[in-house]
Structure 1
């Protein structure tokens, strides 16, 4: 019985020593020398042992470091809370209220246009300068190139649909039929 007590005391002391080493090792604010040691050194092997799940890098480095990792790990609490709040508001808006993205974009643009209209008309009453809204011109050449490529793609699709309807391409006809059958069965 006395032997068991004597064996447990050194184990507890060595455990306490390990804990104090770990605490004092992390308390140092200067750069750690273990970061610059070779991976074969005993302290590097010891550091690997204490990492959860046997990771070689800290979680902050795995997430890419910087602001995104700070947000994910809640190191910047205000920004993380803001991201969580915006994500929750978007979820509530689209899932629970069943609001649509197109409706949201239209309402935002109407509010922005109304605000600019009021600002430009009320500038004389509040002695402010009117907003400087730049003129936007779409170049004709770029628009014609996009329209021409879209026209070519549509004509190509109509040629394919015509060949399927006339029965000239049996493989594509069967693919289209199987697609529509699968679509009707899933609904």
Structure 2
């Protein structure tokens, strides 16, 4: 009796699997009539052809929004600007072998020169000069940073002194091994 119940379940599962492969529909007749009632909306959705059998458009696969618009070149000016900027950065750092610290220094000098010239030109064109805020570093914060830095430096000197006295062989070997590792780079 148990065998009799398992056969229809197995047959129905096989029917569903074969219908999936062959594209047939094994649903009941009531769902067929529901599909007909939906009208052309389901028919139009089924007619959309997407490359490689995707279910979602590429814009949705890329996450939608501005990053997807950038990658898909929907706004050509922004995408072109990003490409030009990335190319300029690549040319600076790879082709011309420019360094980041040098670039930051030159940008700071250029901004200072621009600000100086703008302040002097404002006198001739009767405009008010730019308002540059005054920056002050608090003394207590500076003292705390200096004290903590002094403590760390003294601790490092103490470790070097103890290692140099030969009291800790393990630390000596670790220092030698680290110096060999970083010395080869």
Q: TM-score range by the shorter chain?
A: 0.5 to 0.7
TM score, norm. by length of structure 2: 0.62
For residue 167 of structure 2, give the secondary structure of its aligned residue in structure 1: coil
Match of 1:70 in 2: 69
TM-fit CA distance, 1:71: 2.8
Question: Which protein is bigger by CA-based radius of gyration?
Answer: 2
Match of 2:174 in 1: 175
Q: Where in structure 1 are there 5+ consecutive unaligned residues? A: 1-19, 27-48
Match of 2:152 in 1: 153
Size of the alignment, in residue pairs?
A: 142
TM-fit CA distance, 1:177: 1.2
Change (3 A) 1:172 1:65: farther
Distance 1:62 1:152 in 2: 54
TM-superposition CA deviations, 1:126-147 (whole Å, max 9, x none): 2222111111111122222222
Match of 1:110 in 2: 109
Change (3 A) 1:61 1:182: same
- How does 1:19-58 map onto structure 2 within 5 Å? 24-25=47-48, 50-51=53-54
Higher mean displacement: 113-122 or 56-65? 56-65
Match of 1:92 in 2: 91
TM-superposition CA deviations, 1:62-99 (whole Å, max 9, x none): 65543334334444433232222212211211121111
For residue 124 of structure 2, give the secondary structure of its aligned residue in structure 1: coil
For residue 124 of structure 1, give the secondary structure of its aligned residue in structure 2: helix
Distance 2:167 2:59 in 1: 59
Distance 1:123 1:88 in 2: 36
TM score, norm. by length of structure 1: 0.61
CA RMSD in angstroms comes to 3.1
For residue 99 of structure 1, give the secondary structure of its aligned residue in structure 2: coil
